[in-house]
Copies of this chain bind each other. A is one copy, B any other.
Protein backbone atom coordinates (compact mmCIF):
# COMPACT_ATOMS: atom_id res chain seq x y z
CA UNK A 1 0.00 0.00 0.00
CA UNK A 2 3.01 2.28 0.00
CA UNK A 3 3.54 4.75 -2.78
CA UNK A 4 -0.08 5.74 -2.46
CA UNK A 5 -0.51 9.42 -1.76
CA UNK A 6 -3.63 11.47 -1.25
CA UNK A 7 -3.92 12.53 -4.84
CA UNK A 8 -3.52 9.05 -6.23
CA UNK A 9 -6.27 7.95 -3.97
CA UNK A 10 -8.61 10.64 -5.13
CA UNK A 11 -7.94 9.72 -8.74
CA UNK A 12 -8.50 6.07 -8.01
CA UNK A 13 -11.75 6.93 -6.31
CA UNK A 14 -12.86 8.90 -9.34
CA UNK A 15 -11.99 6.04 -11.65
CA UNK A 16 -13.92 3.57 -9.52
CA UNK A 17 -16.93 5.86 -9.33
CA UNK A 18 -16.94 6.38 -13.03
CA UNK A 19 -16.49 2.75 -13.83
CA UNK A 20 -19.24 1.71 -11.44
CA UNK A 21 -21.53 4.04 -13.31
CA UNK A 22 -20.62 3.28 -16.88
CA UNK A 23 -18.90 -0.11 -17.00
CA UNK A 24 -16.62 1.36 -19.66
CA UNK A 25 -12.84 1.56 -19.25
CA UNK A 26 -12.15 5.10 -18.13
CA UNK A 27 -9.51 7.27 -19.73
CA UNK A 28 -7.37 10.03 -18.38
CA UNK A 29 -9.27 12.73 -20.21
CA UNK A 30 -12.56 11.67 -18.66
CA UNK A 31 -11.13 12.03 -15.19
CA UNK A 32 -9.57 15.43 -15.74
CA UNK A 33 -12.74 16.79 -17.32
CA UNK A 34 -15.66 15.18 -15.49
CA UNK A 35 -14.11 15.20 -12.06
CA UNK A 36 -12.68 18.61 -11.30
CA UNK A 37 -9.19 17.87 -10.20
CA UNK A 38 -7.38 20.86 -11.61
CA UNK A 39 -5.03 18.54 -13.37
CA UNK A 40 -4.47 17.87 -17.03
CA UNK A 41 -5.04 14.53 -18.63
CA UNK A 42 -1.30 14.06 -18.98
CA UNK A 43 -0.77 14.27 -15.25
CA UNK A 44 -3.61 11.94 -14.63
CA UNK A 45 -2.02 9.63 -17.13
CA UNK A 46 1.18 9.53 -15.17
CA UNK A 47 -0.66 8.83 -11.97
CA UNK A 48 -2.71 6.15 -13.61
CA UNK A 49 0.43 4.53 -14.85
CA UNK A 50 1.68 4.47 -11.28
CA UNK A 51 -1.61 3.09 -9.99
CA UNK A 52 -1.43 0.33 -12.53
CA UNK A 53 2.05 -0.53 -11.38
CA UNK A 54 0.76 -0.65 -7.81
CA UNK A 55 -1.88 -3.14 -8.90
CA UNK A 56 -4.94 -0.99 -8.49
CA UNK A 57 -5.75 -0.65 -12.14
CA UNK A 58 -5.95 -3.00 -15.07
CA UNK A 59 -5.77 -2.24 -18.72
CA UNK A 60 -7.91 -4.46 -21.00
CA UNK A 61 -5.59 -3.58 -23.90
CA UNK A 62 -2.96 -1.03 -24.58
CA UNK A 63 -5.08 1.71 -25.99
CA UNK A 64 -8.10 1.38 -23.77
CA UNK A 65 -8.75 3.20 -20.55
CA UNK A 66 -8.18 1.63 -17.16
CA UNK A 67 -10.52 -0.41 -15.04
CA UNK A 68 -10.23 -0.90 -11.29
CA UNK A 69 -8.77 -4.19 -10.10
CA UNK A 70 -10.20 -6.30 -7.30
CA UNK A 71 -7.49 -4.78 -5.10
CA UNK A 72 -8.84 -1.33 -5.86
CA UNK A 73 -12.37 -2.28 -4.89
CA UNK A 74 -11.05 -3.84 -1.73
CA UNK A 75 -9.33 -0.59 -0.78
CA UNK A 76 -12.44 1.36 -1.67
CA UNK A 77 -14.71 -0.85 0.39
CA UNK A 78 -12.40 -0.96 3.39
CA UNK A 79 -12.35 2.80 3.34
CA UNK A 80 -16.14 2.82 3.18
CA UNK A 81 -16.55 0.44 6.09
CA UNK A 82 -14.12 2.35 8.28
CA UNK A 83 -15.67 5.73 7.75
CA UNK A 84 -18.97 4.19 8.85
CA UNK A 85 -21.19 6.67 7.07
CA UNK A 86 -23.72 4.27 5.67
CA UNK A 87 -26.90 4.57 7.67
CA UNK A 88 -28.42 7.23 5.42
CA UNK A 89 -32.04 7.38 4.45
CA UNK A 90 -32.72 4.02 2.92
CA UNK A 91 -34.33 2.76 6.11
CA UNK A 92 -37.50 4.47 5.07
CA UNK A 93 -37.65 2.73 1.74
CA UNK A 94 -37.04 -0.63 3.32
CA UNK A 95 -39.65 -0.05 5.97
CA UNK A 96 -42.34 0.97 3.56
CA UNK A 97 -41.92 -2.25 1.67
CA UNK A 98 -42.76 -4.33 4.67
CA UNK A 99 -46.13 -2.95 5.54
CA UNK A 100 -47.83 -5.66 3.58
CA UNK A 101 -48.46 -8.21 6.26
CA UNK A 102 -46.65 -11.43 5.90
CA UNK A 103 -46.85 -14.28 8.25
CA UNK A 104 -44.78 -17.34 7.72
CA UNK A 105 -41.05 -17.23 8.10
CA UNK A 106 -40.58 -18.49 4.55
CA UNK A 107 -42.77 -15.78 3.19
CA UNK A 108 -40.87 -13.12 5.03
CA UNK A 109 -37.61 -14.43 3.70
CA UNK A 110 -38.84 -14.54 0.13
CA UNK A 111 -40.35 -11.13 0.45
CA UNK A 112 -37.15 -9.72 1.89
CA UNK A 113 -35.22 -11.07 -1.06
CA UNK A 114 -37.62 -9.43 -3.47
CA UNK A 115 -37.45 -6.11 -1.67
CA UNK A 116 -33.70 -6.22 -1.48
CA UNK A 117 -33.33 -6.95 -5.15
CA UNK A 118 -35.75 -4.30 -6.23
CA UNK A 119 -34.05 -1.69 -4.08
CA UNK A 120 -30.56 -2.51 -5.19
CA UNK A 121 -31.25 -3.67 -8.76
CA UNK A 122 -28.93 -6.54 -8.10
CA UNK A 123 -29.60 -10.14 -7.15
CA UNK A 124 -30.52 -10.69 -3.54
CA UNK A 125 -30.30 -13.77 -1.35
CA UNK A 126 -31.82 -14.12 2.08
CA UNK A 127 -31.21 -17.03 4.43
CA UNK A 128 -33.57 -17.78 7.27
CA UNK A 129 -32.12 -17.80 10.77
CA UNK A 130 -30.07 -20.75 11.92
CA UNK A 131 -27.82 -21.36 14.82
CA UNK A 132 -28.32 -22.62 18.31
CA UNK A 133 -30.95 -25.32 18.39
CA UNK A 134 -34.32 -24.05 19.42
CA UNK A 135 -35.86 -25.36 22.62
CA UNK A 136 -39.20 -27.07 22.78
CA UNK A 137 -42.00 -25.16 24.40
CA UNK A 138 -45.08 -27.12 23.55
CA UNK A 139 -45.93 -30.31 21.74
CA UNK A 140 -49.44 -30.71 20.56
CA UNK A 141 -51.18 -33.58 18.79
CA UNK A 142 -54.24 -32.64 16.83
CA UNK A 143 -56.56 -35.24 15.41
CA UNK A 144 -56.75 -34.92 11.68
CA UNK A 145 -58.63 -37.97 10.54
CA UNK A 146 -59.22 -41.43 11.75
CA UNK A 147 -55.85 -42.86 12.53
CA UNK A 148 -53.85 -39.72 11.80
CA UNK A 149 -52.78 -36.86 13.97
CA UNK A 150 -50.97 -33.65 13.28
CA UNK A 151 -47.93 -32.97 15.39
CA UNK A 152 -47.16 -29.34 16.03
CA UNK A 153 -44.02 -28.48 17.88
CA UNK A 154 -43.65 -24.95 19.15
CA UNK A 155 -40.17 -23.83 20.08
CA UNK A 156 -38.81 -20.66 21.50
CA UNK A 157 -38.07 -19.59 17.97
CA UNK A 158 -41.37 -20.43 16.39
CA UNK A 159 -42.87 -23.48 14.90
CA UNK A 160 -40.30 -26.00 13.90
CA UNK A 161 -42.43 -28.09 11.69
CA UNK A 162 -45.65 -29.87 11.62
CA UNK A 163 -46.22 -33.30 10.24
CA UNK A 164 -48.88 -35.92 10.16
CA UNK A 165 -48.18 -39.18 11.90
CA UNK A 166 -50.31 -42.28 12.18
CA UNK A 167 -51.87 -42.93 15.58
CA UNK A 168 -53.97 -45.76 16.91
CA UNK A 169 -57.42 -45.07 15.48
CA UNK A 170 -59.28 -45.42 18.75
CA UNK A 171 -57.67 -42.31 20.24
CA UNK A 172 -60.09 -39.46 20.75
CA UNK A 173 -59.45 -35.77 21.18
CA UNK A 174 -59.17 -35.88 24.92
CA UNK A 175 -56.68 -38.69 24.97
CA UNK A 176 -54.57 -36.91 22.41
CA UNK A 177 -54.72 -33.83 24.55
CA UNK A 178 -53.63 -35.77 27.59
CA UNK A 179 -50.73 -37.24 25.67
CA UNK A 180 -49.81 -33.79 24.43
CA UNK A 181 -49.72 -32.45 27.98
CA UNK A 182 -47.57 -35.30 29.09
CA UNK A 183 -45.15 -34.84 26.22
CA UNK A 184 -44.97 -31.12 26.77
CA UNK A 185 -44.23 -31.55 30.46
CA UNK A 186 -41.52 -34.10 29.80
CA UNK A 187 -39.80 -32.36 26.96
CA UNK A 188 -40.27 -28.69 27.74
CA UNK A 189 -37.01 -26.83 27.50
CA UNK A 190 -35.16 -29.57 25.65
CA UNK A 191 -33.45 -29.00 22.37
CA UNK A 192 -34.56 -31.29 19.59
CA UNK A 193 -31.51 -33.48 19.99
CA UNK A 194 -32.05 -33.81 23.71
CA UNK A 195 -35.66 -34.66 23.09
CA UNK A 196 -34.71 -37.47 20.75
CA UNK A 197 -32.55 -38.97 23.47
CA UNK A 198 -35.18 -38.62 26.13
CA UNK A 199 -37.98 -40.20 24.15
CA UNK A 200 -37.15 -43.83 24.98
CA UNK A 201 -37.55 -43.00 28.67
CA UNK A 202 -41.18 -42.15 28.12
CA UNK A 203 -42.20 -45.49 26.72
CA UNK A 204 -43.68 -46.93 29.87
CA UNK A 205 -45.83 -43.90 30.51
CA UNK A 206 -47.41 -44.21 27.09
CA UNK A 207 -48.77 -47.70 27.48
CA UNK A 208 -50.30 -49.09 24.35
CA UNK A 209 -49.70 -45.88 22.41
CA UNK A 210 -45.98 -46.16 22.22
CA UNK A 211 -45.98 -46.26 18.41
CA UNK A 212 -46.62 -42.55 18.63
CA UNK A 213 -43.26 -42.14 20.29
CA UNK A 214 -41.50 -43.94 17.48
CA UNK A 215 -42.95 -41.60 14.93
CA UNK A 216 -42.36 -38.57 17.04
CA UNK A 217 -38.75 -39.61 17.50
CA UNK A 218 -38.29 -40.03 13.77
CA UNK A 219 -39.74 -36.62 13.20
CA UNK A 220 -37.68 -34.92 15.85
CA UNK A 221 -34.41 -36.45 14.80
CA UNK A 222 -35.08 -35.39 11.28
CA UNK A 223 -35.95 -31.91 12.41
CA UNK A 224 -32.75 -31.64 14.37
CA UNK A 225 -30.63 -32.94 11.50
CA UNK A 226 -32.36 -30.98 8.83
CA UNK A 227 -31.18 -27.56 9.87
CA UNK A 228 -30.98 -26.20 6.38
CA UNK A 229 -32.05 -22.60 6.25
CA UNK A 230 -34.67 -21.51 3.82
CA UNK A 231 -33.16 -19.63 0.89
CA UNK A 232 -34.99 -16.78 -0.75
CA UNK A 233 -33.72 -15.37 -4.02
CA UNK A 234 -34.88 -12.21 -5.69
CA UNK A 235 -33.99 -10.37 -8.85
CA UNK A 236 -32.10 -13.16 -10.53
CA UNK A 237 -32.84 -11.56 -13.85
CA UNK A 238 -31.40 -8.25 -12.72
CA UNK A 239 -27.97 -9.64 -13.31
CA UNK A 240 -28.65 -9.91 -17.01
CA UNK A 241 -28.99 -6.14 -17.23
CA UNK A 242 -25.31 -5.71 -16.59
CA UNK A 243 -22.93 -5.87 -19.50
CA UNK A 244 -20.53 -8.11 -17.58
CA UNK A 245 -23.13 -10.83 -18.01
CA UNK A 246 -23.90 -10.28 -21.66
CA UNK A 247 -22.11 -13.53 -22.31
CA UNK A 248 -24.78 -16.19 -22.44
CA UNK A 249 -22.70 -19.00 -21.03
CA UNK A 250 -21.67 -16.96 -18.06
CA UNK A 251 -25.23 -15.89 -17.49
CA UNK A 252 -26.49 -19.42 -17.66
CA UNK A 253 -23.99 -20.83 -15.25
CA UNK A 254 -24.68 -18.00 -12.85
CA UNK A 255 -28.41 -18.54 -12.99
CA UNK A 256 -28.15 -22.23 -12.58
CA UNK A 257 -25.97 -21.69 -9.54
CA UNK A 258 -28.77 -19.56 -8.12
CA UNK A 259 -31.11 -22.48 -8.64
CA UNK A 260 -29.13 -24.96 -6.59
CA UNK A 261 -30.19 -23.51 -3.31
CA UNK A 262 -27.98 -25.63 -1.11
CA UNK A 263 -24.82 -24.57 -2.84
CA UNK A 264 -25.97 -21.00 -2.95
CA UNK A 265 -26.69 -21.02 0.76
CA UNK A 266 -23.24 -22.30 1.60
CA UNK A 267 -21.68 -19.61 -0.55
CA UNK A 268 -23.66 -16.76 0.84
CA UNK A 269 -23.71 -17.86 4.46
CA UNK A 270 -21.61 -15.43 6.35
CA UNK A 271 -19.08 -16.73 8.75
CA UNK A 272 -17.87 -14.89 11.79
CA UNK A 273 -19.49 -12.22 13.84
CA UNK A 274 -18.85 -9.11 11.81
CA UNK A 275 -21.69 -6.91 10.71
CA UNK A 276 -20.76 -6.95 7.05
CA UNK A 277 -18.75 -9.10 4.73
CA UNK A 278 -17.68 -7.95 1.32
CA UNK A 279 -16.15 -10.48 -1.03
CA UNK A 280 -14.86 -9.11 -4.27
CA UNK A 281 -14.36 -11.11 -7.44
CA UNK A 282 -11.99 -13.99 -6.80
CA UNK A 283 -12.53 -13.60 -3.06
CA UNK A 284 -15.90 -15.26 -3.49
CA UNK A 285 -14.13 -18.51 -4.20
CA UNK A 286 -16.74 -19.44 -6.78
CA UNK A 287 -15.70 -19.64 -10.41
CA UNK A 288 -19.20 -18.78 -11.60
CA UNK A 289 -18.91 -15.55 -9.68
CA UNK A 290 -15.39 -14.60 -10.52
CA UNK A 291 -16.52 -11.18 -11.62
CA UNK A 292 -19.18 -10.72 -9.05
CA UNK A 293 -19.04 -9.32 -5.60
CA UNK A 294 -21.05 -10.63 -2.70
CA UNK A 295 -21.99 -8.33 0.11
CA UNK A 296 -23.61 -9.92 3.13
CA UNK A 297 -24.95 -8.79 6.46
CA UNK A 298 -26.49 -10.65 9.35
CA UNK A 299 -29.64 -10.21 11.29
CA UNK A 300 -30.58 -12.00 14.44
CA UNK A 301 -33.62 -13.04 16.34
CA UNK A 302 -34.30 -12.40 19.98
CA UNK A 303 -33.36 -15.98 20.71
CA UNK A 304 -29.91 -15.42 19.26
CA UNK A 305 -30.31 -17.26 16.02
CA UNK A 306 -28.63 -15.66 13.05
CA UNK A 307 -29.69 -15.20 9.47
CA UNK A 308 -27.87 -13.81 6.49
CA UNK A 309 -28.92 -11.35 3.85
CA UNK A 310 -26.79 -10.77 0.82
CA UNK A 311 -26.58 -8.96 -2.45
CA UNK A 312 -24.77 -10.31 -5.47
CA UNK A 313 -23.77 -7.91 -8.18
CA UNK A 314 -20.97 -7.14 -10.58
CA UNK A 315 -17.66 -6.23 -8.98
CA UNK A 316 -18.37 -2.64 -9.94
CA UNK A 317 -21.25 -2.68 -7.52
CA UNK A 318 -22.52 0.45 -5.83
CA UNK A 319 -21.05 -0.70 -2.55
CA UNK A 320 -22.00 2.31 -0.56
CA UNK A 321 -25.65 2.12 -1.55
CA UNK A 322 -25.80 -1.62 -1.10
CA UNK A 323 -24.20 -1.52 2.32
CA UNK A 324 -26.62 1.04 3.55
CA UNK A 325 -29.62 -0.85 2.23
CA UNK A 326 -28.35 -4.08 3.73
CA UNK A 327 -27.90 -2.39 7.02
CA UNK A 328 -31.48 -1.17 7.09
CA UNK A 329 -32.83 -4.45 5.95
CA UNK A 330 -30.89 -6.30 8.60
CA UNK A 331 -32.39 -4.12 11.29
CA UNK A 332 -35.87 -4.57 9.90
CA UNK A 333 -35.57 -8.31 9.81
CA UNK A 334 -34.10 -8.47 13.26
CA UNK A 335 -37.04 -6.52 14.54
CA UNK A 336 -39.52 -8.57 12.60
CA UNK A 337 -38.17 -11.88 13.76
CA UNK A 338 -37.88 -10.83 17.34
CA UNK A 339 -41.52 -10.13 18.00
CA UNK A 340 -43.79 -13.05 18.76
CA UNK A 341 -41.48 -15.98 18.60
CA UNK A 342 -40.34 -15.53 15.01
CA UNK A 343 -43.81 -15.65 13.66
CA UNK A 344 -43.77 -12.11 12.52
CA UNK A 345 -46.49 -9.73 11.53
CA UNK A 346 -49.26 -11.25 13.55
CA UNK A 347 -52.53 -9.55 14.10
CA UNK A 348 -51.58 -7.72 17.26
CA UNK A 349 -50.95 -4.28 15.97
CA UNK A 350 -53.70 -4.04 13.47
CA UNK A 351 -56.36 -5.33 15.76
CA UNK A 352 -55.36 -2.98 18.53
CA UNK A 353 -56.11 -0.06 16.32
CA UNK A 354 -59.58 -1.22 15.44
Contacts and interface: CB of A to CB of B under 8 A. Distances in A.
B235 A259 contact: yes
Interface stretch (A269-277, A319-327, A340-348): A340-348
Interface stretch (A91-99, A194-202, A244-252, A308-316): A244-252
Contacts of A154: 142, 144, 150
A82 interface: no
Given A162-B162, A246-B248, A138 B148 contact: no
A350 interface: yes
A237 interface: yes
A179 interface: no
B351 A214 contact: yes
A189 interface: no
Contacts of A152: 140, 142, 150, 152, 162
B218 A148 contact: no
Interface in A227-265: 234-237, 240-241, 246, 248, 251-252, 255-256, 258-259
Contacts of A219: 347
Contacts of A251: 240, 248, 251
Interface stretch (A14-22, A26-34, A36-44, A163-171): A163-171
Nearest to A185: B173
Given A142-B138, A218-B347, A235-B259, A148 B246 contact: no
A74 interface: no
A255 B251 CA distance: 12
A184 B161 CA distance: 22
A102 to B, nearest CB: 11
B237 A241 contact: no
Contacts of A350: 218
A87 interface: no
A348 B166 contact: yes
Interface string A121-146: 00000000000000001101011110
Contact of A346 (B165, B237, B246, B252): B165
A257 B256 CA distance: 17
A336 to B, nearest CB: 13
A237 B161 CA distance: 31
A145 B343 CA distance: 12
Contact of A236 (B164, B236, B241, B351): B236
A103 interface: yes
Contact of A138 (B137, B143, B346): B143
B237 A163 contact: no
Contact of A103 (B163, B166, B341): B163
Nearest to A153: B142
A309 to B, nearest CB: 18
A121 to B, nearest CB: 12
A9 interface: no
A346 B159 CA distance: 18
A163 B142 CA distance: 16
Contacts of A341: 144-145, 148, 164
15 contacts: A140-B142, A142-B152, A145-B341, A148-B340, A150-B152, A162-B162, A162-B343, A164-B346, A166-B347, A166-B348, A173-B184, A234-B259, A241-B252, A248-B248, A248-B251
In the A-B complex, the 5 residue pairs with the smallest Cβ-Cβ separation, listed nearest first, are A237-B255, A237-B256, A240-B252, A164-B343, A164-B346
